Amino acid sequence: MLREHRLNPPEWVERVPEIVPGYPDRRISKPAFAAELKKRTLTNLYNAQPA
């Protein structure tokens, strides 16, 4: 839950239902936050200095 919220904040992405049953919803970034979301990766999260 925390990982998902860190990588895809709800106010930055839009959830779109998947067409194929059984697959999770797709997350589509809102245009204003697309560049910032590309920087939010697990690698960057793990390499960041602890606060």
Residue 1 has pLDDT above 80, yes or no: no
**DSSP class of 32:** G
Q: Report how far apart, in Å, the C-alpha atoms of 25 and of each of 14, 21, 50 are.
A: 10, 10, 31
Helix locations, 2-41, DSSP H: 2-7, 34-39
Question: Whole-model pTM?
Answer: 0.63
What percent of the chain has pLDDT above 70? 100
pLDDT reported for residue 22: 93
Residue 50 has pLDDT above 90, yes or no: no
| Summary mean pLDDT of the chain | 88
Phi, psi angle pair for 49, to nearest 5°:
-70, 140
pLDDT reported for residue 19: 92
Residue 29 has pLDDT above 80, yes or no: yes
Domain spans, the chain: 2-47
